[in-house]
Chain A
């Protein structure tokens, strides 16, 4: 029916305009905040653009940061589609990365192709099981999954530190405790023709697959959603180890899980919308270094902008169905 079609368009336009408006408002509030501290907001906007999207190098930086965000955002969005609010993706990232580092180390000498597959799959498995734990506690014991998933993150970080500083510590890593390197042959490398690692490709494929899954199948209990989301976050950790760091160390605990929450909320828990939003947020964090170098601002500057954006995005929920142009005409 024609009126249904126009209603759909109106919804889509609303879901696009409101978040973009909220982001623009966040930029404005952030500008006022920076101006109050004696900075020139226009200069900051220009630097953010420059650091995030102005050159091939900055695009490469942006997309490399977007890759784990796509996957960790799925860890929020998929359970959210099933009505659960899981915010423990960081724990799955950390354990997925640790698993990949251990697997890569134990299998060193085996055929590199097999090692790579094993690292990715086992990282996903561990991440999936970790988040499934929060889902299962909700399902069978009624434990609030938001709190339990976050507590599990702290447990995951403690486990990670225990392994990295203790049994599996590479004795040659003095200042920065790390596990043994997985070896250059086992690194998964970059997308063909680009300076961006495979995580971006995995993330986009994962998002499309999940979009189809959510839209076209009835498959998916809350617990399945947790497993898939956790697997995505675990993969993010595995890729960080197997494509960037080469071993498990503190660089893995970089807050990707938390930034992924922001991405998922801006994308309104829609798997396809996650990709562009992750690029945007990845660009923001890529520009942090530029702000630090050029204006001598603390590296937390980007966190402030992200926090403001998050609050305004959540507040903008109140606008849905209330803006005149998007309202269906009364029949």
Chain B
């Protein structure tokens, strides 16, 4: 047994970054697809909570957490589809629908999830990458969930797909110039709807991580704005899936700072450290946005460039 002392803080932050970043990663990859097609879905927050609830409920009833992950994705897909279809209507604003979906998804999840607050559902297993070490902190930090690895693979795959596949190029074209896409004969609203639905699927999976791995139970206070921060995160990552991964790690690390400091005995500013991820997000947005130019890498038609 090795005493780590102050080294516990960076190790805690790294471990926390791996643990906490997974939902960010999935939600931001989903939002990345959606935004590349020109829509913004703020309702991912509601989808995330709905995914957390349905994942937990299905895992509890079926006994298989991976079925729960799938169900969470399915719930997210449906809500994403709802957002996509609503935004196809004339005069309907995607930001406003996102806010509506956030309230709707949250309310529905709280309502349907009431019976699952108490029972204990089977959760996802972890891969002990830290088994070589005899330090419990390092072991705890390197407990990696398979979903994290899937997310990393997904980020790489998406980056490749945006560049090299027909679908990736169609999504990008719809987002950069809907006129060009229409001239090529693609149904612009349909592509956007499907991109939003796919984004919803990933956000739902991200939500299932919250309830099925870390923190690993379902309650009404489970999500704390991860779905919304992901929207900011995608802007910071310049709509690039690989950078979404780095940004998710950074946000996860910021979120782990408070508990890590608490573990070495610094508790006085605990609640203030809870604000760290939000302050980091804000700081990054302030640093990267500019009133005079559009952001490099932004889809041409995205309304965030107004």
Contact = CB atoms under 8 A, between A and B. Distances in A.
Nearest to B305: A142
Given A144-B285, A147-B285, A318-B91, A311 B97 contact: yes
A310 B289 contact: no
B282 interface: yes
Interface size range of chain A in the complex = 35 or more
Contacts of B160: none
Interface in A114-164: 137, 139-144, 146-148, 150-152, 154-155, 158-159, 161-162
Given A87-B99, A318-B92, 6 more contacts: A142-B289, A151-B232, A158-B272, A265-B100, A311-B97, A318-B90
Interface in B123-137: none
A274 B93 CA distance: 20
Interface of A: 85, 87, 137, 139-144, 146-148, 150-152, 154-155, 158-159, 161-162, 165-166, 258, 261-262, 265, 298-308, 310-311, 313-315, 317-318, 320
B275 interface: yes
A26 B270 CA distance: 42
A141 B290 CA distance: 5
B89 A318 contact: yes
Contacts of A147: 42, 228, 231-232, 285
Contacts of A317: 89, 91-93
Interface in B77-128: 82, 86, 89-93, 95-97, 99-101, 103-108, 110-111, 114
B275 A307 contact: no
B232 A166 contact: no
A300 B107 contact: yes
Contacts of A141: 285-286, 289-291
B103 A154 contact: no
Nearest to B281: A151
Contacts of A137: 282, 285-286
Interface in B247-306: 268-272, 274-275, 278-279, 281-282, 285-286, 289-292, 304
Nearest to B274: A158
A320 B92 CA distance: 11
Contact of B114 (A139, A148, A166, A298): A298
Contacts of A159: 271-272, 275
Contacts of B95: 85, 146
A81 to B, nearest CB: 15
A308 to B, nearest CB: 7
Contacts, number: 138
Nearest to B277: A154
Contact of A315 (B42, B92, B229, B290): B92
Contacts of A306: 103, 107
B225 interface: yes
A141 B103 CA distance: 29
A307 B99 contact: no
B91 A155 contact: no
Nearest to B228: A150
Given A162-B271, A303-B106, A311 B99 contact: no
B224 interface: yes
A308 B104 CA distance: 6
Interface string B23-51: 00000000000000000001000000000
29 contacts: A87-B99, A137-B282, A142-B289, A142-B290, A142-B292, A143-B289, A144-B285, A147-B231, A148-B282, A150-B228, A151-B232, A155-B275, A155-B279, A158-B272, A159-B271, A162-B269, A162-B270, A258-B103, A265-B96, A300-B107, A300-B110, A303-B103, A303-B107, A304-B111, A306-B103, A306-B107, A307-B104, A311-B104, A314-B100
Contacts of A320: 91
B272 A311 contact: no
A140 B291 contact: yes
